[in-house]
Structure 1
């Protein structure tokens, strides 16, 4: 099931996250494993979560004196390109993480994941939120984070200008124009890294409401030159041509885009809920919420927004310490450690009945009950196809005609038809 179900009301305090890249090349946990019987390796890409994980690892080691955890953190782009190499021989990553979609599929094809289907810790998770870690009925990984991949906006700026949340494409453009007329950058767009791949989710969700659209694209049943993708590219170009992105958006990386919003120079950030904690670190007075651009008439809209279950925890099939690795995952999925992690990092989780305490999580609680769609981009299982689509977005922002950009993308996709 890819739509976020209303059974999320089962959470005790249901309140609200891509993968923001770490800023250092490599960061290690400081735990001394010299006196431990077993040391397990834990690798991931969430550099901003290091402090939270250091604390949790200390708690786990105190409760399990025979096990030490050695944590290594990689930048997200490096992790995406090197994860297969890192985990292949089992010498690192007894517990490792995966993005859903193309990376999960690639890791699964090389047999990197141990089967977790019989793990008692499965009962700690909402069943409907861990399906991204399944393949052919087997639970290979456990998505840990629940994030909303859609723009974050400054509530106070919207209220200052009397702006309502737009319900269709025309009203979204009107909101952007009002922001521009009043001296604000409407949308901080990190076009140099994650912006195109993030904003495409909410831009395409109602232009192509068929949740199997990218599976069909990879099978040759639909094309990027069809109306659904050409329209999406046309709307990206419209945002650029009307000046609703900041100057040199294709040269802007995510940290710089975050700073534009934190300094209240920009009213929206075109990434997702996972950026909210970073925004509040820079400006604790921000009042933040989420919105998704509706690219069709309100009466034609199927979805209100985008959700993703990511940061998928797996056990290396080549690990020499699989039971200790599973024990660490079980610990992370228990209510108190999971609540601690959620509140320290500003992340909603897929774990049941957590106690969410921070303002940014509570303020976005209503998105748990909205009709959101699982992030379409993560349903693209071929990395070359994904990159072709992202590049077509960058191309139209750089000035390429949408139909030409779509044709160029389709030429690459044709080389990878399943």
Structure 2
């Protein structure tokens, strides 16, 4: 019955969300407590890691049954419906919005034992000034640029530290491979791939350099978006110089692993989960990851990220005690290590040392500051789609770089709401 119940819930998650699954499953037969858990996890290995943790917890706590849900791209819509009904899951992923979107729905976790081990890099993301802790981090994001270390070594190219170095590296890859290797590959059928480019590079362009720090203007809604034009200009330049894949607007994400394993790609934006999949296909290909190259002379590199996957406790849950017990279980060093290694991402706690695929790179750049995702801090809700669609229109030659900046500025103005 227990396995059947989980299968039924997974196959009808959306219907359950609309009908108030939390109340209906708040208690089970035989006196068991049933918790609902919603997560944005989509990668199969990540889902398996979380599902395995749940099974292990349930074995040790036979009176607690956790109904896990992985709704993928339906997650945000489902959670918005549940927020409106004030009927949230007992445990849910805040996926980068622990404060701004979900803050009023989460239980304060600051008195839990694991908080003392929270990685300081996560403080500004998961805590407020009064000490409230919004969610438990299953892992943390440190996004930069993933590169084919095997290829760069073969061609005598150093991992780039600046944007100019990066452009030179792409030129060298194209020349030395005689056009057989794509210097920078995008799965452009998914507009979010261009959103990732604009979002990650907006930070070194507009935030981290003291002489080009526009935080106040962005937050006030007074930013001059012509200063953003550098990024679409460079993306257009990459296309004209043949640095991008020829099928840039139709390529799909599932092609990326195979092509990288065949030594056909030099760089991708982000890609922290790619390493283990490539290794499985071709152990001879080694990938590396670097922080974001700086754009302005004298600036310091940075990671882009913060929370990747978390678990928050609904403040009105009837089973907060049991939900916190599961988080306590996850915060034990052996479980922290297991999940970090299974997801190939740095742990959110400092009570263990995870040996994941990019561990050496993360250690090498351990002192590099982690900056939050640009859109989560400086853009209103709805702008992610605008960024991505603008990239598609630029590379399809429907818009010029100047028109891209103008459109982003107009949409930002339309959607703008002052930050609380």
- TM > 0.5: yes
Deviation at 1:120, TM superposition (A): 2.9
- The answer on 1:85 being equivalent to 2:87 is no
Q: Matches of 2:138 and 2:216 in 1, distance apart?
A: 24
| Larger CA Rg, structure 1 vs 2 | 2
The SS at the match of 1:40 is: strand
Q: Matches of 1:34 and 1:279 in 2, distance apart?
A: 45
Deviation at 1:185, TM superposition (A): 0.5
**Unmatched 5+ stretches in structure 2:** 1-8, 14-27
- 1:30-49 equivalences under 5 Å are 37-47=32-42, 48=44, 49=46
The SS at the match of 1:268 is: strand
- 1:250-289 equivalences under 5 Å are 250-289=249-288
Deviation at 1:313, TM superposition (A): 1.6
Q: Matches of 2:12 and 2:51 in 1, distance apart?
A: 9
- The answer on 1:197 being equivalent to 2:214 is no
Which residue in the other structure is 1:366 paired with?
A: 364
- The answer on 1:143 being equivalent to 2:137 is yes
Q: Are 2:192 and 2:388, in contact at CA under 8 Å, matched by a contact in 1?
A: no
CA displacement 1:383-402 (0-9 Å, x = unmatched): 22333333333332222211
Q: Are 1:209 and 1:302, in contact at CA under 8 Å, matched by a contact in 2?
A: no
Which residue in the other structure is 1:174 paired with?
A: 168
Deviation at 1:193, TM superposition (A): 4.0
The 1:201/1:404 distance shift into structure 2, 3 A limit, reads closer
Deviation at 1:234, TM superposition (A): 1.2
Q: Matches of 1:405 and 1:150 in 2, distance apart?
A: 23
CA displacement 1:176-211 (0-9 Å, x = unmatched): 112122120111212314322322244223221359
Deviation at 1:371, TM superposition (A): 4.0
User: Which of the numbers 335, 338, 351 marks the counterpart of 2:336?
Assistant: 338
Deviation at 1:320, TM superposition (A): 1.7
User: Which of the numbers 110, 115, 119 marks the counterpart of 1:122?
Assistant: 115
Which residue in the other structure is 1:7 paired with?
A: none
User: Which of the numbers 46, 49, 53 marks the counterpart of 1:52?
Assistant: 49
The 1:248/1:40 distance shift into structure 2, 3 A limit, reads same
Deviation at 1:165, TM superposition (A): 1.9
The SS at the match of 1:289 is: strand
Deviation at 1:140, TM superposition (A): 1.9
Q: Are 1:150 and 1:198, in contact at CA under 8 Å, matched by a contact in 2?
A: no
Q: Are 1:380 and 1:386, in contact at CA under 8 Å, matched by a contact in 2?
A: no
Instruction: List structure 1 runs of 4+ shifted beyond 6 angstroms.
Output: none
Decide which moves more: 235-244 or 85-94. Answer: 85-94
**Unmatched 5+ stretches in structure 1:** 1-24
Q: Matches of 2:215 and 2:386 in 1, distance apart?
A: 12
Deviation at 1:351, TM superposition (A): 0.8
- 1:211-360 equivalences under 5 Å are 213=214, 216-225=217-226, 227=227, 229-292=228-291, 294=293, 296=295, 299-360=297-358
Instruction: Using CA pairs under 8 Å that are at least 6 residues apart, name the structure with larger relative contact order, 1 or 2.
Output: 1
Q: Matches of 2:251 and 2:335 in 1, distance apart?
A: 36
Q: Matches of 1:38 and 1:239 in 2, distance apart?
A: 56
Deviation at 1:366, TM superposition (A): 1.3
Q: Name the TM-score, length of structure 2 as normaliser.
A: 0.82
The SS at the match of 2:138 is: strand
Q: Are 1:148 and 1:272, in contact at CA under 8 Å, matched by a contact in 2?
A: no
